[in-house]
Amino acid sequence: MRQDFTTTASTKCPKKDPGAYWNSDLPQSPTDRIEHGYSDKYTLQVPGDWNSQDPKFLYYEGTVWYKRSFDYKKAQSDNRVFLYFGAVNYQADVYLNGKKLGAHKGGFTAFQFEIPDEVLQEKDNFLVVKVDNKRFKDEVPTVNTDWWNFGGITRDVMLVETPATFVADYSLQLEQPTDTNAPLTGWVKLDGEASGQEVSIEIPELNLTHKLTYEGAPTSFSLILPKVELWSDKNPRLYDVVIRTAADELRDKIGFRTIAVSGKKILLNGEPIFLRGICAHEEIPTEQRRAFSDADAMIQLDWAKELNCNFMRLAHYPHNEHIIRKADSLGMLIWSEIPVYWTINFENPEVLEKAKVQLDEMIARDRNRASVIIWSVGNETPVSPTRTAFMKSLVVEAKKLDASRLISAALEVHYNADKNIINDPLGAFTDVVSVNEYLGWYGGLPSSCRSAKWETIYDKPLIISETGAGSLAGFHADSLTRWSEEYQEWYYEEQVEMMKRMPDNYTGFTPWILTDFRSPKRNNPIYQDGWNRKGLISNEGAKKKAFFVLKKYYDEIAGQK
């Protein structure tokens, strides 16, 4: 059972008095002093960022108090009720009927709190959420970022009712790339008094039922799929999966596939694959807001499909579950990343723990999504022994949480006239070496690509995880004029020719970026005006000339397969 929310909001600060913001704003007697109130005059749509909903919030970083009243009667008296948030940026403090349910940090991962029976009311529940999107040095991400700090309850909010004991989590992973007698391993986790219960795992289309006795902790199992169509970018086959106990039933749609590295190649279901990719932020530029719905996900995926992409790098944080599930159904391979970005405080062990929490929450949500093939532990982190130790810890954590996928991070490179050597020490620990390069934009001209030579010290697959040049859609000039569509077009033409000469471990390309996106760091008043203009599609939805250069390249690669 679920109930969705739209809320009213206040930007006032809390007082340490009986009129606390998490308590009712209605006086119980004429003598009550209440210095806050919630009114339909101040309403925000949830899910949604506050920046795009009212001009006064455009640049706002601070606290907003959300309030929602609701009625709720449980279907059965002994059932449990949870309050689930898809994401809140950045810190959420959640109160119901004056009691604090809990707090959460991290702007892009899901969390939930159980509501005690003595707190939940059948009538007039008073839910208050304090949301704070201020940036701090010792948070993840840190103060310095290159995207808009959209604040608010940006993803779905649900009331979820469960039996006293319910299926809390599970994992299903194909062990070998075979479609007949395919070995599958997994585990199931129940929540509640569960030891000794029978659990069944069912895949109806394959006439498969596997039963086990729950051992009071995550219980592992293995089974054989008699005949299965493997999920791939060309055949995104999904199967209904049912996990059932005497009291509960969890249903999902799962694709079965393997992803692995063999020498210099990435193997999908045992076959080499080239990743025709594009980077994307979780943003709908035509409406200058955070993406939050199925429809929003399809806008981005349709544009990527039009480019003939089979891969998207979702930067620089975990994106909404909607786009991951849509990618599952469409066969779009996904890179998912935590916001360990630029100058994180690598010396602070508390920051490392915060990063690990976000990594854990990202993997926990999407570990069963076939589309996700790469977990990324960060982007463009400056090399130092402290940083490398920090990042290695994240790689180790990711492998412990999910050994079935590849681990990477977007690295930086420094340009040299004779040879560009990719030798970041973090590459020794990742499965795939990924590097961001902007030769022709941040160094030299696009023609610099003609003589550029590349080498990597790692005998591993190589992905060019970013490259790009800015252009203002509709601004036309000769190809030497920065910010023109012609300059960006020339940049991509030279990049494509350089990619054709890359070392033989070159296995993927994800240019920066699908669409123009908001960034307060980008302040050229003529060409940027608060937008990063490296998009292949403008903030008004127009395809720039470079879009068609990349599409032609991807069409050629796809035609060779």
Quick one: three-class SS letters along 95-117? EECCEEEEEEECCCCCEEEEECC
CA distances from 491 to 441, 445, 551 (A): 8, 8, 14
Average pLDDT, the chain: 95
Percent above pLDDT 90 for the chain: 91
CA distances from 316 to 237, 376, 483, 485, 507 (A): 28, 9, 24, 26, 21
Q: Which two tokens stand for residue 543?
A: 């395809």
Alpha-carbon distance of 557 to 549, in angstroms, equals: 13
Please state whether the peptide bond connecting residue 30 to the residue before it is cis, i.e. omega within 30 degrees of 0: no
Give, in degrees to the nearest 5, the angle at Cα 434 between 433 and 437: 135
Using N-to-C axis directions, what is the helix angle for 321-330 and 294-306, rounded to 10°?
50
Alpha-carbon distance of 4 to 134, in angstroms, equals: 26
Q: Which two tokens stand for residue 317?
A: 């944080």
Check pLDDT > 90 for residue 291. Answer: yes
Check pLDDT > 70 for residue 202. Answer: yes
Quick one: three-class SS letters along 6-51? CEEEECCCCCCCCCCCCCCCCCCCCCCCCCCCCCCCCEECCCCCCC
For residue range 300-350, what is the model confidence (pLDDT) as tens digits? Answer: 999 999 999 999 999 999 999 999 999 999 999 999 999 999 999 999 999
Alpha-carbon distance of 404 to 533, in angstroms, equals: 36
Tell me the pairing of strands 208-213 and 198-203.
Answer: antiparallel
Domain assignments of the chain as residue spans, ordered by start? 7-162, 166-257, 271-560
Res 34: pLDDT: 87
For residue range 415-449, what is the model confidence (pLDDT) as tens digits? Answer: 888 899 999 999 999 999 999 999 999 989 999 99
Say if residues 157 and 85 touch (Cβ distance below 8 Å). Answer: yes
Say if residues 43 and 69 touch (Cβ distance below 8 Å). Answer: no
> Which CATH code for domain 271-560?
3.20.20.80
Picking from 35, 33, 29, the residue whose alpha carbon sits closest to that of residue 14 is 35
Q: Which residues of 226-258 are buried (b: 16+ CB within 10 A; e: fewer)?
A: eebbbbbbeebbbbebebbbebbebeeebbbbb
Residue 10: pLDDT band with limits 50, 70, 90: low
For residue range 144-187, what is the model confidence (pLDDT) as tens digits? Answer: 999 999 999 999 999 999 999 999 999 999 999 999 999 999 99
Res 16: pLDDT: 44
> Which CATH code for domain 166-257?
2.60.40.10
Res 414: pLDDT: 87
More confident residue, 507 or 560: 507
Res 7: pLDDT: 58
Res 102: pLDDT: 98
Picking from 44, 281, 42, 285, the residue whose alpha carbon sits closest to that of residue 154 is 44
> Taking the C-alpha atoms of 271, 272, 277 and 283 in order, what is their torsion angle to the nearest 10 degrees?
40
Residue 219: pLDDT band with limits 50, 70, 90: very high
Res 17: pLDDT: 52
For residue range 11-30, what is the model confidence (pLDDT) as tens digits? Answer: 444 444 557 899 988 888 88
> Which CATH code for domain 7-162?
2.60.120.260
Res 9: pLDDT: 56
For residue range 135-144, what is the model confidence (pLDDT) as tens digits? Answer: 999 999 999 9
